[in-house]
Structure formats: C-alpha cells, structure tokens
Structure 1
Amino acid sequence: MDQKTEKLAILFADISGSTALYETLGDSLARQMVGRCIAVMAGELAAHRGTLVKTIGDEIMCIFPSAEDAMRSACSMQLAVENGKPGGDRPMFIRIGFHYGDVICESGDVYGDAVNIAARVTSVTRARQILATEAVVNALPHELKDKTNYVRRDTVKGKQEHIDFFQVIWEPEDMERTRIGIPAYRKPQESNEEMILRYHDQTLTINEQHKSGMLGRGGVCDMVVHNDFASRQHARVEARFGKFVISDQSTNGTYIRFNDRHVTHIVNEETMLRGSGSISLGQTYSDNPTELIEFSIVFTPVKA
C-alpha cells in the first residue's frame, strides 16, 4: 500500500446533542436531521480545498492543505448550519476542533499523532464553538490570528506535554468585539479557587488539577443524579483559569439559582457560576425540584 507523510490540517466536526435527538424524536426523524446537517457541513469543504475523509455517525473528519483553509471552512460550517436550519424548527448546533501537523496518508485515510490531537480538541469543544491548537494559530496569517483567543491548556492521552487551545471567533458580532478591544492570546492567571458541588452523598471538586466534571443521570457521569428530567449527560462544569463555567448539552435545559435568588436558564449554551447556589437539571424552580445540586466556590491557600 502507498503510504506518505504530509503536513495537513485535520478537522473534526460533530453535531452537539445528537443523542438527545434520537431519544426525543426517534431513530427515523433524528437520522434525517443528522443527515441533513452533515450534508450542510460537508458542502462547505470544496470552497476551502477540503477533503472529506470519512463520516463517523454524527461526525465528519476532514483534511485541508493549510491551517487557513481549515479555519475558513470551520467558520463557514458554523454559519451554514446556523443559517441553513437543517433541523427545521428545531435548532441544531455543531462543534468543531482542528489541529495542524504531520499525518500518514494511506488508502484514503489519515493516521498519526496529529489526528489524535484533533480528536481530543473536538472532545472538549462546546456547541457552537470552534477550538484550534497553538500549532494552527502559529500557521495562520496575521489577520486570522486576530480572530482567535486563548482559552485553556489541556493534556492529550499518551503525551506528556500540555497543549494550548484557542477559540476561533466566527460570529460577526463576536468578530466586531474582537476588533474593538479584546486582545488575542490572553492567558489568564491560574486560580487558587475551587468549586465544590454536592448532591446527596456525592461530592465533586473542580479546580486547576481536576478541570471538569459531567453532571447527568448516566452512569458514566462524574456526578450521577436521580432525576427523570435530566439527560444522561446533561451539563458539564469546567474550570477555565480562574472562572467556573457550566455548559448545558441537554434537552430540557439547566436552571441555576444563585445565592442572591437570581435564576438563570440555559439550553445548549453556557454561563459563568459565581459565589454559591444550586443547579436544577431540566426542572424549573417553580416546580419545587428536590434533586438539586448545591455548589460553592471556595478559596484554597497556595502551598509554600
């Protein structure tokens, strides 16, 4: 078999919350919606010299000759799904992650460390978000570098060194905010705070060492709730260099009540957690939910 090594951009794009679609709509209708969404994403490849390597369920894997091509295609995919409405009246959201590096090309597929890194980036990306590695940003022209912001440092299985992740700004209003005063490459200071979440006899701690945790009724979650309103993987709580963020990826949404009694409701989006309060997965506070997750942010002294 012919085998060659090339430097390419590897991009994964998948449909956020597709499991919930199958649960709520049934296999036939959900499969149609997923198929339309994948067709919309794949339709943005040719204009940016992209090649579809394969489709894996609700995800596509693509390669591009340059980081610039991959970034422009990623932005086009997000806009096409946003404006094309492949789900009809039901919003559909995608998440995209990509990396730039050496890959082994063989029999129409690609392999290697760079592919694993791209997959890892996508696994931590949220709905309606595009994340790229530092290798991508370093290979971009200056005008595109200005449309990226540093967001986090993470590890990749099997690699000792950390990898820096950057968010790509793709929405027109966000691009305007970037131009008028949000600098690229901002690296916030690491925090001495941590978040403690409690549910019955379960405790989950989120900090710079344990950066995230999944909440839901599925057995694989870091905190498993006994709540019929919750999705199997309902929401993720994450530490981002001094801030704590909750990202909803459910059908019914997530309700947060802060200690000042203010209530926030998010559906397939995220919000910052502050102080202390409670989280209700899928059930409004007016229904007097009993399965609440209590949270509090505490300061931990720096060890000498």
Structure 2
Amino acid sequence: MTAPHTEKLAILFADISGSTALYDKLGNEPARRLVAGCLATMVKEMAVHRGTLIKTIGDEILCTFPNPAAALEAACAMQNAIEKERPGGEQPMYIRVGFHYGEVICEDGDVYGDTVNIAARVASITRARQIMTTRAAANELPDDLRNRTRQVMRAEFRGKQEASDVFLVSWERDDTMSTRIGLPRFRKPSDARNELMLRYHGQTTALNEQHRSAVLGRGEACDLVINSSFASRQHARIELSFNKFIIVDHSANGTYIRFSDGQVIPLSHEQIVLHKSGSISLGEPFSDNPAELVEFIVQ
C-alpha cells in the first residue's frame, strides 16, 4: 500500500453511449465483445498520449493525464479512432468524453476528491460523439488547443454554490454539426430514476443515490442475507458507481447472473454492469437449478 498524496492531474472519463440498448438489441455475449473492442481502442489511444488507466467501470474508463493538453489530445484521438476503426463493425458505436483538471488524492492506484467528481459530472452531461471540459482545464491549454474549445453552457455541480462554465472541444477537422450538437438519443434522460431493486424471499432493498451499495452473502451483517451453504459470508457487492450498478464477486464459488434474455454470465472475482432485469445465484450455476435466487430490476 502506498501513502496517500495530493497531485494536480487531468481526470478523464470516457464511456460508450447507448451500451444498455446494445445489450438489449444484441444479447449479452455479442454486446460484451463489441464493448470490449471499443474499450481496447480507447485504452490504446489513452496510452499513446501519456495516460494512466485507473479503472474500467462497466463500459467506461477512468484515467489520468499529467496535464489538460494531454487529456484533450487523447480524447480527440479516441473519438477519431472509434470513427475510423469502427470497432462495432456494422453496429454503430459512439463514445462521449469529459475531463477536468485539479488537485486529486492518489492512493493505492486510485484517485479521489472533488476533481474526480466534477470530471464524472461533466462526462454525464456530454452527448455521444462529444468531448466536454471545464474552464479550469481550458485555461491551462496552449493557445492552439484552447482555440479548439468554446463555452457552450453553465452547469451546476453538486457541492458547488455557483454554476460552472463547460466547454465543448472540436475534435473533427471540419467540426461537423453532429459534433456541435451531439446525438441526444444516446444521452441519459435527466429524469431517469436510476434505481436498482433487489428481492430475495421476503427481503427487499433498493440502491439509488441515497443508498449506493449492498452486500450479499450468508453473513448476518449483509444487506441481503442468503440462506445457502454455497454462498460466502460476504459473497458479492453491488454498488452505484458513476450512474451504473456494478456487481463485484468476492466469493470462493463464484456468482452467476442470468439476464432477462436468458443469457448467463459467470463471475469469478470479476465485475459486470447490471441492466434491465434478471436474477443472481450465489455459488451455484443456473444449470443446477438453484433455489436461492436474488431477483433484480433496474428502473
């Protein structure tokens, strides 16, 4: 473990727009392959521009850069690579990128603090095929890169009393209208509930902005206590992370997710985004017809 320290960095979030619809349309395995290919393209361009990958969160990457210029160049390279390489083949794939610059807390390979939260918020209001950033980042850009940004809105960020200026980055040579306006159908509706409901026998629990995580297992301290000898004491954790519900397996026997389309995803010390609805089996494959199932639905 490394001692926490403070450093000034550019924090960048990039995610695949419309991935939930992609899973619904293609099914889990084909969609996972396309998402993995798209993420690989993004990570490749990040590395070329001196980026450091902090984590992958479902269909999103969080990375750091030494300065906003490197972040902007990486973001533009990501957009151009997705456009040129077409990792989805005939299936259109679009990404959105948001970044911010400021002091962050670095500890054990992760980053924390207000700068990270603002970068995540900027990414969340960005549309498909867009790159957005903040005044703090734009002010640090050299003139040639600063000229590729323009202020497009003022946004309110949680914990901030005043609205902040948000800048759009031009990444296409001709700055087409699609870049200026974006693709609204791939932006999450502002009034979406973003809630996950879990049900196990007589127990129910909800994950949302107020209650962001739940532990599943046979230990009495778990949020959902599962009466199965196949379940570990603290078997799996579900958490709301940057607007996605992530389930992470911590068990000895694995966790099995069956989505509403019938496809089953086994997890062994891995994580996956929960979407739509389905059921979770702790320690037992669905082929063994487990009786102790946790039902979930994302609303």
TM range (shorter): 0.5 to 0.7
Q: Partner amino acid for 1:2?
A: A
Amino acid at match of 1:168: V
The C-alpha deviation readout for 1:38-64, integer Å capped at 9, x for no partner, is 000000022211000000000000000
The letter of the residue matching 2:75 is A
- TM-score, length of structure 2 as denominator length: 0.59
Tell me the equivalent position of 1:225.
Answer: none
| TM-fit CA distance, 1:215 | 8.4
Runs of 4+ in 1 over 2 A off after TM superposition: 212-216, 218-221
> Counterpart amino acid of 1:214?
P
In structure 2, relative to structure 1, the CA distance for the partners of 1:215 and 1:104 (3 Å cut) is closer
Q: Give the Cα separation in 1 of the matches to 2:5 and 2:190.
A: 43
Distance 2:82 2:189 in 1: 26
CA root-mean-square deviation: 2.5
Name the CA distance, whole Å, in 2 between partners of 1:219 and 1:41: 29
1:193-247 Cα deviation digits (max 9, x unpaired): xxxxxxxxxxxxxxxxxxx99389x7669xxxxxxxxxxxxxxxxxxxxxxxxxx
Relative to structure 1, is the Cα distance of residues 215 and 49 closer, same or farther in structure 2, using a 3 angstrom cutoff? closer
Change in CA separation of 1:151 and 1:107 when aligned onto 2, cut-off 3 Å: same
Q: In the aligned structure 2, how far is the partner of 1:89 from the partner of 1:46? A: 27
In the superposition, relative to structure 1, how do residues 213 and 12 fare at CA in structure 2: closer, same or farther (>3 Å)? closer
Per-residue displacement from partner, 1:17-57 (whole Å, max 9, x unpaired)?
Answer: 00000001000000000000000000002221100000000
Say whether residues 1:56 and 2:57 are aligned partners.
yes
Name the SS for the 2:98 alignment partner. strand
Q: How many residues align?
A: 187
Aligned equivalent of 2:189: 214
3-state DSSP of counterpart to 2:144: helix
Question: Counterpart in 2 of 1:148?
Answer: 149
Q: Does the residue aligned with 1:174 lie in a helix, a strand or coil? A: coil
TM-score of the superposition, structure 1-length normalised? Answer: 0.58
Unaligned runs of 5+ in 2: 181-186, 196-299
Distance of 1:61 and 1:8 partners within structure 2: 12
2:121 is aligned to 120
* Alpha-carbon distance between aligned partners in 1 of 2:20 and 2:31, rounded to the nearest angstrom: 9
| Aligned residue type for 2:113 | G
Listed as ranges, the matches of 1:1-304 within 5 Å are 1-174=2-175, 214=189
Tell me which amino acid in the other structure corresponds to 1:57: G
The answer for unaligned runs of 5 or more in structure 1 is 176-181, 183-211, 222-304
Question: After alignment, is 99-108 or 159-168 more displaced?
Answer: 159-168
